[in-house]
Structure 1
Amino acid sequence: MNYKLLGRSGLKVSELCLGTMGFGTEAGWGADKDTSFAILDAFTKAGGNFLDAANIYKLGTSEKIIGEYMSNHDRDYFVVATKYSLKDNISNPNASGNNRKNMMRSVEESLKRLKTDFIDVLYLHIWDDLTPIDEVLRGLDDLIRQGKVNYAAISDTPAWMIAKGNTMAELMGWSQFIALQVEYSLLQRTPERDLIPMARHFGMTVTPWAPMGGGVLSGKYLRGEQGRVKAESNRRNDRSTKIAEAVVAVADELGVPASHVALQWTMSQGFSSIPIAGATKVSQLEENMKAVDVKLSAEHLQKLDEVSKIDLGFPGEFFREAAVKENVFGGFYARIEKRK
């Protein structure tokens, strides 16, 4: 694999991130420890070093498996990203949310499960709409100064709140968010309205989750296969079927699996993007990793864009209309483009 810098940092991570939500067999699905180890072996052999976890994945088993694996390998090779926010202790009212108490408690528990002294990237998992953003930022900065966390990142949070946070962090000299994790795929393009433009402005890398739309974009439902979870069925409708058909058509032209096209699309949108691809079988991972070698032509990208296009709303649609721009600004944008 090639490596990319994560956001406005010097941290080098693989161009594909391994999602570990399926490490463990709780809830009746997932990979056992031996299979998880085999997946990690295959990922590292291919040059992968970027792992995505969370305190609640498989009730903590995901982090435990990663920790046990790293204890027998070079810890510093791996860039381990994990998350805090969601409840992992039903008897403690402060065992959830973005507050400082939960942050510190959750990080200490993650460090134990991961069998490490530091977390490379710590994400706020989901915005709770309760905790002041300055409390979050100061807590993350304290953890970074203590050496328990190297970088701060954020997930599933409104763009305006992230922008407020990064601006405040810059003014206060605190560590800024360097990565943004959101659902983003050909099925879910609404982050293009404000989250992705915000990430580009602040130089943040986007790490899309569900880049294959819960399996819909692999074309498996077109073949009559059934989904495992309700979330997958919620993504199945007339629009998603048309998009999946277009993905399969492009894949057939290229002679690759549809999943490769879906993954590569998220990496070909003109901004820093490292998709998170989960796997519960070595064969799944090996197939996903081949997506980095797929090249989508301008025609392929246009075809996929047209079938999955969304309404950006105001002011996105207003700005997207080149004719309107020229009329309003007297050709200003055209002149700037020529000057470039």
Structure 2
Amino acid sequence: MSLKLLKGWLTVLGWTWMWPVSALPLSPGDRLEVSIPKDTYFARVYEVNQDGNLEVPFVGLVPVSGLEPPEVQAKLSEILIAQKFFPPQRLQLSVQMVAWAPVQVSLAGELFQPGRVLINDPKDNPPTAISDTSRQITGSNPVQRYLTTAIRAAGGVLPTADVTQVQLIRQGQATIVDLSGIFSGQPIQDLPLINGDQIIVPRSERFQNELMRPSQITPPGIKVFVSNLTVPATSNATSAVGNQQEGITFPYGARFSQAVISANCAGGINATNADRRAMLVRVDSLTGKTTTVERQVEDLLRASTNNEENPPLFPRDGVVCYDSTVTSLRDRFRSISDILSPLNPILLLINLFK
């Protein structure tokens, strides 16, 4: 049975066609050098154009997008011999990579920032300086043009992602990749990408705490907004909360309780501060819906045992602290005392009019 016929039968049966993954397929913008001894017409550096073709003199457009360099070498040799530019068995043609271009891929599913991303950007990978005495180096290793890099560029996977069933779709054909080895230390198949690839990360049936740590496909850290404008600290500055415009940084996997401690909401005099409260504010980036979780600080620190009682922090969460009942009552009496004070500006103004 031919490969084409087998693919057709699998499609009829409703199964996904598993295409063989190339090692380093070409994309628009990739540059390669064609070398032919004593040739001045075809030997040069070519760049794959926006349609995925090489523009070869006297030959025209040669489709190469998705092919590996050895396949391009074989294809060019066949064309040049077929068009009688070189006699058979006499052509010595070599194809070598010069540079791999940035590619744009689309990502959807259980990701912090699904959408379209650009990977292998030269600005993120500045070339290493080579001295004039060094000989010319051919070849290029696109370390930032792989599946894991694209997922990281989309913010990383959510704790609800099924990393064993990540789907890569290329030109209508799909393959399934298991990336769970990133967290267990087992080998994975980190696939190289070409321009226009689509990645889908499906949803798992459960919340997975094991995914809540820095890795190749999760965020290294997150920004969280915290506020503690009450006793024991009267301002964010004196509470050592550097709450800048983008928030403060926590390692990915940090919990609500750790943000409370970082904001100086805990500790102090037990009799006056033990019943302080903290609130976690979260805004869904897709729906805009705001949800809140409020906990007693001491219960959060001492009695939390699961995700509901002590939720993990997500990017751009907010944590707010409120004072204890004792401190609130003291401040109320202090306010009444300030109003009734003979030196209060309001009383001075009333006495002036009298």
Shorter-chain-normalised TM-score: which range? under 0.3
Higher relative contact order (CA closer than 8 Å, sequence separation 6+): 1
TM-score by length of 2: 0.21
Q: Larger Rg: 1 or 2?
A: 2
Higher helix share: 1
As a proportion of its length, which structure holds more strand?
Answer: 2
Task: Give TM-score scaled by structure 1 length.
Answer: 0.21
